Amino acid sequence: MTGTDETLWWIAIIAGFVVVLAVAALLSLLIYLVKVIDRNVVTVGETLTAAAGNTANTTLIPETATRVDAVLAEGLQHHLFLGRVLGEVKS
């Protein structure tokens, strides 16, 4: 085997070693990212469960809206009354 052949063999061995290291690094990164995704999936699942609990009482929304409208109507009546009373006092 000539010196050139031996050099080419060493280059091939080193290139193969670099490729093996790159593949190992990428697989390690993939495993890490899959673990992060798994943790975040659990977090999202917990958030969705909490959201379901938060929306369990949505049947009360129409009743609340009705009562808020009643409070606003009462406030308008007070505003109109005070406007008339204070208007008479200024005159």
pLDDT recorded at residue 90: 64
pLDDT of residue 91: 57
Q: What is the pLDDT of residue 9?
A: 95
Tell me the two tokens of residue 34: 């899959």
Cα separations (Å) of 85 from 80, 89, 91?
9, 6, 10
What per-residue confidence (pLDDT) applies to 89? Answer: 66
pLDDT at res. 8: 94
Could you say which residues of the chain have pLDDT below 50?
A: none
Quote the CA–CA distance of 51 and 65 in Å, as a whole number: 21
* Per-residue pLDDT, 12: 96
Residue 55, phi then psi, degrees to nearest 5: -95, 10
What is the domain partition of the chain in residue ranges? 1-56, 58-91
